[in-house]
Structure 1
Amino acid sequence: MIQIDQNLLETRLDRLIAEKVAELLNAMLDAEADEIANAAKYERTGERKAYRAGHYDRSLTAKAGRLALKVPKLKGAVFESAVIERYRRREESVEEALIDMYLAGVSTRQVDDISQL
């Protein structure tokens, strides 16, 4: 007989999903930086418009959880991402859900209890 700890399974699954979403977003940010610079990281080309200047860490709260992102910095161009807005700290669906809960008359205690899950 096999016993499965449901909470442990969900926790590991949530963590795996958050890691994969963060990896995907970081790859998309790198691809955007390559497109703006007109060259890949460490690529030598005459058509290069900007150079990589490291990255800065940023967190984003999404359905998958808190994501750790590495936003590229460019020298010679401004990096503006279409993936995430500049000052956005939460995914829009979270904000929309909070607004919907408020309009539906859900108490802040219930919202706090739900968000802790």
Structure 2
Amino acid sequence: MSEHVKIKPSQLNRIAIVYVRQSTAAQVVHNRESTVRQYALIQRAAALGWSADRVTVIDEDLGLSGATTHQRNGFARMTAEVALAHVGIILGLEVSCMARNNADWYRLLDLCSMSHK
């Protein structure tokens, strides 16, 4: 099945979030190729049908640990946007970077399942 068939018009009417994060400041400095690959997900959103003005990049959590959402304003903003049913897709290079804490991860997944209507 084509990816484009799986994406519904109602999803394209919402924003695409590209979540960019690495766990430490050292990773940000020394693993630049990962950061570049994460930002390339902007083009992936476009390829899937989102217009540039409907793609939101959340990168303020670069260099912050994923063990907790404490002080991770980007994760909190992403979660809020999902809860408000503003999000059609979240793109991330490695989803384990979004949350390493199961409670935070499952809360985000629950919100995604409830806001798809």
> Is TM more than 0.5 here?
no
State the structure with more CA Rg. Answer: 1
TM-score, structure 1 length as denominator?
Answer: 0.31
- Per residue, is there more helix in 1 or in 2? 2
Q: Give the number of the structure with larger relative contact order, counting CA–CA contacts within 8 Å between residues 6 or more apart.
A: 2
TM-score, structure 2 length as denominator?
Answer: 0.31
